[in-house]
Chains A and B, each alone.
Chain A
Amino acid sequence: MLEIRGLTATVDGREILHGIDLDVPAGEVHAIMGPNGSGKSTLAHVLAGRDGYEVTGGRVGFGGRDLLALAPEERAAAGLFLAFQYPVELPGVGNANFLRTALNAVRRARGESELDAVQFLKLARAEAKRLSMPEDMLKRNVNVGFSGGEKKRNEVLQMAILRPRLAILDETDSGLDIDALRIVADGVNALRGPQTSALVITHYQRLLDHIVPDRVHVLAHGRIVRSGGAELARQLELEGYAGMAADAA
């Protein structure tokens, strides 16, 4: 599904990623853990194609395509979804309208028929209900006046509706109470299937109690310094990053 080889990237001329190699096969959930400033969010933004993050070397294959050659919206249409660490407010833009516009853009790009307002609302209400989200979330403006937890839940709702092939969660757990954390985890777990993958970026192990990953990778100083099974996350929780970060330095 996702194949990263020798990926290097700079931000403002400074190299942040020093050569990442990573494989996320279809159907697997991988976690990326690491201390602050290790390059976790940079990796997420590079994969999503954000301006200002310059790829200086390496390649990324996504479902057999050259991901780095695609514009951000083409990556979205190809099935890549990024749940933002800091979801953005869009004043005056209704959540339902935004989601339908996004879903139909993606469906159009995939050669699927667009959903009309009635069909869409039926789908959106069902997803909101499944994720125990109040329906009025659809009527409000995108992230405007949302609490931190509501914003993250809204990301999960978008993910549920857009049904990506690869979901990247960029510290979606930060600032969440335990109930919200469970909703986020439920959203990711519901997406799991033989054709979908997830890359869960987190600083803490606690999200991984709810989303049990197939693999855990530790990122430090722009490199993956260690990979292992789910037990690696628990080990990190006990021992901290200090030892591993030192390995990479």
Chain B
Amino acid sequence: MRITAPMTITTKTPMMSDRFFITLSALAAALALAALLMVNILSGAPTSFLILTMVGATAYIALARLGDYDQVIPCDHIQSGEAAVGSFVLFVTSVFLTATPILPALVFAALLVYQLFLRAVISTDESELAVAGALAQGIIVAAVWFMITGGVPAAARMPEAILLGHQAVLPGPWPLAAAALSVAALVLCLSWALRPELGAWAQGPSFHGGAAGSRACVAAGLAITRALLATIALLFAGWTCGIVISLRKLSRGTRAAPLVFLFLLIFQQAVIMTARMAGVWYAAGCVLLFSYALFLLHIKKRTHRYDRHQKP
């Protein structure tokens, strides 16, 4: 027998002050973004390049959204080493291969393999994941260094491409950008529409209620989607995002979502501006610094997962 008695259902509705604050912040952020875009355009950055980096940022937002449901790899693609692995593949393939159409496919394949490695080998603890990512970055930097000192001709614009995106090596960037944007938008829509199912799935088998097979299918789907989005973000926006930890903390609630996207675009344009004014290496240093600083703040502020008796 079902309960039929009426009951007051309380749902979260933002207070007027929240709405006012979000609207005001969005206006301020839009103005700041417009100003940064203007500076970048005036400094000679091609408009097409700036638009393509925004496509990458959209994919990155979708990647951050997936992080809410993916308990295996919840931290940023810089800390988890995905950006390093993708960049290494791009570096190697750009040096040895001339057929650019297969570059995105190679990066995707490498990131998919790395996803499997992260899910099968690395602990789910964020700090251990970050240590593994830092190690991956170290190994890759060493490999690239040996290649360069060993006489492999590095492309002159390679550092810039790794930081700011590889749009130049993309075959037909606009159709590809449209496809990438569609994928990112589709992931965002699906993750929103299926948030109860994904939320239940993310809590583990004891709380999901689904069959083991369906759990494995969702896990595989997440790994593929994450690899795809990381590939898109890397190809279109390079390392210019890298602040997913703080994004995830801000992204609670639908009203805040556009604001978070604006903040990401501001960060990205600021990185591009730094690269154009101070050089790519300074900008790269800033991205890494910001990314790890936010990560450490997040880790330090966070209450331990559960108390010692309740560890999974």
- A and B from one complex: no
Binding site for A on B (CB under 8 A): none
Binding site for B on A (CB under 8 A): none
